Structure 1
Amino acid sequence: MTLRTALAAVLLAASPSALIAQGKPATDTAAPADIVPQVRSRDLTGTFGGQRVAYTATVKENVLFSDDGTKPEAVIVTTSYVANPRDTSRPVFFLFNGGPGSGSVWLQMGAFGPKRVAIPSDARDDGAPPYPILDNPDSLLDVADLVFIDPPGTGFSYLTDGTDPKKYYGLTQDARAVADVIRLWLNENGRWNSPKYLGGESYGTTRTATVVNELEAGTYNDVGLNGLVLISTILDFAGREPTPGNEMAYIVTLPNMAAAAYYHGKVQAPSVEAIVEEARQFAIGPYASALLKGQDLPAAERASVRAELSRLTGLSETYLDRAELRVTDQRFYKELLRDRGLTIGRLDARYTGRDYDAAGETPDNDPSFYGIDAGYTAAINSWLRETLGFETRREYQSIGFEPGRNWDWSLGQGRGAYLNVAPYIGQAMRENSGLRTFVAQGYYDFATPFFGAEYSLNRVGIPQDRVQFHYYDAGHMMYVRDEDRAKLSRDLRAFIRAR
C-alpha cells in the first residue's frame, strides 16, 4: 500500500438520528486538519433470495492521503452489508454507479441493497413523498457481502480544501482512487482471499473496466477478481457520438429505436426480441452498407433502405429522407410520438412526457429521469442519515456536476485517441482464466444501447466463452420494473454461484 492510501479511520460513538447531469454543490467543505472520519454500524436482519440473513450495515468515511502521506485529499464513503457471522469464504461484491458524478443510490436503493424505494413499476412518475422504503428480497446478501462505493464528488464523498480536482476527476485518476478504497476494505476486513466481484451501472461500467485495469494490470497487479458485472454498458464512447461522419452512432441505436417503436405500438412484431433481432441484422448489414457508401449510395438502394428503416422505426419515409437516413436519438425522442403530443425517455423509452409544445426538434427534459429521481434521493438520505445514523451537513450528490465538469477523458494515448476501455476487460480476462463477465442490458435504454454493448464486447481480444449477456424489458435502470429487478437478481445470483 502506498502512503497515499493510508487510512485515517476513527470509530465515533453511535448517535441517533444519477450519464452527466447538473446537480447541486455540497453545502460545506472540510479543511484537512478538521477531518474526523465517521464509522456508523447497525446490526439488522432480512430475507434475501428466500434466506433469512443477519448482517451488519456500516457506512464509513475512508480517507486517501497525498503521495507523501501528509495531507488528507479525498474522503470516500462506503456502505457495506456483511453477513453475520462473518465468513471469509463468502464472495464480496464491490459496486458503484456512473455519471461520472452519480452516487451509488441507484444500485443501492433500487436493486441490490437490503432496502429499496418503491416507485411505480409501469413507467409512471414517482409523484410526491412520502416514498415507501421496503424490505428488498431481491438483494444479493444471501450469496455475497456488498460494498457500495461513492467515488469523490458523488454521494457524501468529497475532496478536501486545496486538493486539485485533476488528481481525482478523470478516467484513470478515479479508477486509482476506487482501487485504493477496495484494497483498504480488503485489508480492514481480512478478505483478500475471498471471491471478489466488481460491477457498476452506466459510466460505472466504464469505471469497472478502468478499475480492473488498476487491480489486475496496474502497478501492483495484486487483486484477483472472479467476475465483472456491467449493467447498462458504455465502453466504446467514440461509437456512441452522432458527430458528422460517425456512422456507428446511427447503427448502434437503430435496434433501440425498433424496440421503442414496438413498445408504443408504432410497429408490429411477435415480440420485442423479434423486432430487435430484425433491427440488429438490418443495422449491421444493409443499413451499415448504405451509410458507408455516403453520397455514392444508388437511388434504388436508398429507397429500399429507407422503406425498411421506416418499417422498423415507425418514422415516415419523408422524415427519414429529409434526415438523410440518419436520425439522432434526440430527434427520435421527439418524433416517434409527435402525433400524440408526447416525447419518450432517453434512459427508458417506456416513459413519456409532455413538453412546452409539440413543435420542437428535441425534448425539454428526460421523462424517464425526472420520473424517478426524487424518490431515490429521499430514500438514500432517509436510510443513511436516519436509520444508519450518518451525520453530515453535506448534501447527498445523487447526480453531481463537479466531477463531470472537471473530468479528464484522456487515457494518455495521445491527442484525439479513440476512447474505448473494452480492451482493459479483454486483457484482464486473458490474464485471469477465472474471470467472467456478466452484461445486463435493457431493450429501451438509449443512454447505453444494448447493440453498442454487444459491439464493444465481441471484438478481438475478449474471450467470448466467458462473457454472458442478459436482456430486460425495461430501460437503463431495468430494476425499476418489478419483474426485471427479480430477474436481474436471479441472473446475478446464478452468475455468482457458478464461479
Structure 2
Amino acid sequence: MIPSILLAAALITGTPYHASHPVPEAAVASDAAKGEEKQPEKDKNAAVPEKPVVTRHKVVVENREIGYMVTTGHLPVMNDAGESEAQIFFIAYTADNPSPGIRRPLLFIFNGGPGAASVWLHLGAVGPRRVQMLPDGRMPPPPYQLVDNEFTWLDQADLVFIDPVGTGYSRAVKPELTKKFATVQGDIDSVGRFIRLYLARYGRWNSPLFLVGESYGAFRAAGLSDYLFEHGAALNGIILISSVMNMQAISFDQGNDLPYELFLPSYTATAWYHKKLSPDLQGDLDKTLATVENWAATGYLTALGKGDTLSPEERRTVVEKLSAFTGLDKSYIDNRNLRIDNRSFVRDLLRDQRQVVGFMDSRFTAANLDPAAPFGFDPTVATIRAPYTATFNDYVRRELGFKSDLEYFTLGGGIGRWDWEAKNGYADSSENLRNAFAKNPYMKLFVASGCFDLATPHFSTEYTINHLGLTPALRGNITTRRYRAGHMMYLDRTSLSQLKKDVAAFIAGALVER
C-alpha cells in the first residue's frame, strides 16, 4: 500500500525520499536477549493500552470452512532497558489447526509509505475479510461493503498485520520519541523488536516464518531479513509486492538517468491500456513489453549515457522510438531532452481528453480540471482511500470488538518528515537482502509486480533483483510474477485470484523438507 501509497505521494509532491546509505548491519545486531522476554509490570512512560481483544470467526475457502481466532491490540516497542517507547497496533489471525503436530507457517505483513497502515494488504488481499470493490478495482458507490475473502491466505498460514509506529493506531509513548521511528533504521529496529516480542509472547519462535511487504514495506522487509537473522530468527521466505529496495531506481534526479530507462516499459503498458500505441504495438502486450524492455536496456540506455554528445541522427531515432513506445508527441519528447518523468507522463498522456492517469494504477483516470496546473492528486488513492478507511473503522469495532477514539491513520497523518539517514547517495536495503541470502541459503523470495504501476515499476524491481550479485544457486530461490494491474494488483479480481494461487505455491515450495 502504497508506497506504498505515500511513496507515490512523495513522487507527486517532490518530497525527497533518497539520500541514504545501505542499512548498516552492525546497527541492527544488538543483543536479542535484552528486553525481549521481559514484561514490566507497569510502563512508567505512558498508559498501557488495554489487553488485546480476542474473537472467533469462520470463513469458507475453496469449499472448506476454516475456524479462526482474531487477536486485536498492541504490543510495546521496548528498548534494551525494558522501557516502552511506543505501542504497535496489530491484528493477528490464527486458524484452527486440525494437525497440532504440524507447525503452521506465520506471516508478518505490512504495507509501506513510509506512513501507510497494513489495512491495504489486510482488507485488500490477505485477510479473511476484504473490501468489495468493482471487479476491475474501481470504487463502488458508498456505503461500502466488507465481504468474506475467498482468496485469503489464511488457509496457507497464520497472519499478523503490523502497523509501524505512526500508522494505524500505533503511537510513540511521548511526542518527542516520534522522530526516532520515522527513520530507515528506527523503523526496521522497531518492527524487528515487535516481531521478536510477538514470537516470544505467543510461543511462535519455532514456526516457519515469512515476511510480506508492499512497496516501502519491501524496503523494510529486505532490511528485516538480515536484522531477524542476526537475532536468531531465520526466515523461510519473503513475499514482496510492488517492491522498491534501491531508491536510485525510482528517483528522477538531475544526473540520475536510471529511472528513465526503468520506467519506460510501464509507460508503454499504460499507453497500451489507453489505446495510444500504433496498431503493430497495440496487439500483444507481452510481446510489446519484451521489445521495449530490450531497447530500454540497450539503445535507450546508450543514448542517455551519451548525453549532449548524441548526434542529431541518433537523437531523431530516439525521439521516434520514445514517441512510438509512449504515445507522446515527438516535439514534446524532444523538448524534454528525451527524459520523461512519471509526474509528467501521467499528466500529459491523456491531456487531449482532459484526463490524468494514476500513479499507483495507471488504468485509473480522473478529470484534469486545470491542464495548466501541476498534477495534484493520484486517481488511484482517490479510488481506495474512502472504501478502505470506512470499512476498516467499522470492522475493527463491530466485528473485532476493538474500541479506540484515536484516528486510524491509513495513509499519512501520523509521521512527519521521513529521515533517510544519509548525506550522499540513495537509500538501499538490497544489500541487507543479499547478506540474508548468503547467511540463510534456504530462504526463498517471491516478487509480485503490476504492469500498470508507475510508482514502483516492474522493470525497476527486476533490475534491482538482477543486481543483487547472487550465485546461480541463490538466484534459484527467487520467483517473480507480473500481473495486468497496478501497484495494488489485488484490486483487480482476476489478479487477486492469480496472486493467491502463486503465493500458495510459493509458501508450499518454501516449506519443502531438505
Task: Give TM-score scaled by structure 1 length.
Answer: 0.90
Counterparts of 2:233 and 2:375, CA distance in 1: 44
SS at match of 2:476: helix
The yes-or-no answer on 1:472 pairing with 2:483 is yes
- Asked whether 1:229 is paired with 2:239, we answer yes
Letter in 2 for 1:47: V
TM-aligned CA deviation for residue 81 of structure 1: 0.6
Q: Distance in 1 between matches of 2:254 and 2:419?
A: 23
Pairwise CA distance, 1:178: 0.9
1:240 to 250, 259, 263: 250
Superposed displacement of residue 494, structure 1:
0.5
Which position in structure 1 is the counterpart of 2:24? none
Picking from 442, 446, 455, the partner of 1:447 is: 455
CA apart distance, 1:270? 2.5
Among 330, 338, 355, the alignment partner of 2:368 is 355
Q: How much has 1:308 moved relative to structure 2?
A: 1.0
Q: CA deviation at 1:358?
A: 2.6
How many Å apart are 1:52 and its aligned residue? 1.8
CA contact (8 A) 1:252 1:452 kept: yes
Pairing 1:492–2:500 present: no
What do residues 239-297 of structure 1 show as CA deviations (whole Å, max 9, x unaligned)?
21111111111111100100000000001333222222111111111001001100100
Distance in 2 between the 1:51 and 1:416 partners? 54
Q: Which position in structure 2 is the counterpart of 1:20?
A: none
Q: Work out whether 1:418 is the aligned partner of 2:435.
A: no
Residue 433 of structure 1: aligned partner: 441
SS at match of 1:356: coil
1:116 pairs, out of 130, 144, 147, with 130
1:395 counterpart (407, 413, 428): 407
* Cα gap change, 1:290 to 1:59, in 2 (>3 Å): same
* Structure 2: runs of 5+ lacking an equivalent: 1-31
Correspondence for 2:420 among 409, 415, 426:
409
Q: Aligned ranges for residues 319-334 of structure 1 at < 5 Å?
A: 319-334=332-347
Confirm or deny that 1:257 pairs with 2:267: yes
- Say if 2:92 is the partner of 1:80: yes
Q: Distance in 2 between matches of 1:157 and 1:327?
A: 38
Once the two structures are superposed, the pairs formed by residues 57-96 of structure 1 within 5 Å of their partners are 57-69=70-82, 71-85=83-97, 87=100, 89-96=103-110
What is the rounded CA distance, in whole Å, between the counterparts of 1:74 and 1:415 in structure 2?
28
The question of 1:371 aligning with 2:383 is answered yes
Q: How many angstroms apart in 2 are the aligned matches of 1:271 and 1:78?
A: 43
- 2:302 and 2:44 map into 1 onto residues whose CA distance is 58
1:13 aligns with none
CA distance in structure 2 between the aligned counterparts of 1:422 and 1:41, rounded to whole angstroms: 37
Q: Which moved more, 1:88-97 or 1:99-108?
A: 88-97
Separation of aligned partners in 1, 2:284 and 2:55: 46
Answer yes or no: is the 8 Å Cα contact 2:53–2:71 preserved in 1.
yes
**Are the structure 2 counterparts of residues 50 and 466 from structure 1 closer, same or farther at C-alpha, using a change threshold of 3 Å?**
farther
Question: Does residue 200 of structure 2 align to residue 187 of structure 1?
Answer: yes
Separation (CA, whole Å) in 1 of partners of 2:404 and 2:39: 18
Task: Give yes or no for contact 1:6–1:64 (8 Å, CA) kept in 2.
Answer: no
SS in 2 for 1:34: coil
For 2:93, the aligned partner's letter is: Y
The equivalent of 1:307 in structure 2 is: 320
> Shift of residue 4 of structure 1?
4.3
Alignment partner of 1:498: what SS?
helix
Q: Distance in 1 between matches of 2:175 and 2:247?
A: 32
Task: Please give the alpha-carbon distance, in whole angstroms, between the structure 2 residues aligned to 1:255 and 1:231.
Answer: 18
Q: Quickly say closer, same or farther: Cα 1:188–1:294, change in 2 above 3 A.
A: same
Partners of 2:146 and 2:436 in 1: how far apart?
38
Identity, in percent, stands at 35
Q: Which amino acid aligns with 2:115?
A: G
Q: CA deviation at 1:51?
A: 2.8
Judge conservation of contact 2:446–2:478 (CA < 8 Å) in 1.
Answer: yes
Counterpart-to-counterpart distance in 2, 1:357 and 1:41: 50
CA–CA separation in structure 2 for the residues paired with 1:301 and 1:245: 20
**C-alpha distance 110-9 of structure 1, shift in aligned 2 (>3 A):** farther
SS in 2 for 1:119: coil
- Separation in 2, partners of 1:7, 1:80: 21
The AA in structure 1 aligned to 2:199 is: L
- Are the aligned partners of 2:115 and 2:166 in contact in 1 as well (CA < 8 Å)? yes
Shift of 1:460: 4.2
- CA 1:150/1:317 → structure 2, altered by over 3 Å: closer, same or farther? same
Report the CA distance shift for 1:300/1:496 in structure 2 as closer, same or farther (over 3 A). Answer: same
Q: Distance in 2 between matches of 1:481 and 1:291?
A: 35
Deviations along 1:158-216, one digit per CA (max 9) or x if unpaired, are: 11125522332211111111111111111122222211110111110011011112101
Residue in 1 that maps onto 2:8: none
Match of 1:215 in 2: 228
- Compute the displacement of 1:384 (Å): 1.1
Contact 2:430 2:468 in 1 (8 A): no
Cα displacement (A) at 1:6: 5.3
Check whether the contact 1:123–1:351 (CA below 8 A) recurs between aligned residues.
no
List aligned pairs for 1:37-56, cutoff 5 A.
37-56=50-69
How far, CA to CA, are the matches of 1:8 and 1:200 in structure 2? Answer: 28
Alpha-carbon RMSD: 1.9
How far residue 310 of structure 1 moved from its aligned partner, in angstroms, is: 0.8
**Displacement of 1:56 after TM fit?**
0.4
The answer to whether structure 1 residue 276 and structure 2 residue 309 are counterparts is no
Name the count of aligned residue pairs: 470
1:5 CA displacement: 4.3
Residues 124-182 of structure 1 show CA distances to partners (whole Å, capped at 9, x for unaligned) of 33433x21100001001111011111111111111112552233221111111111111
The range that moved more, 134-143 or 82-91, is: 82-91
Q: Which amino acid aligns with 2:407?
A: E
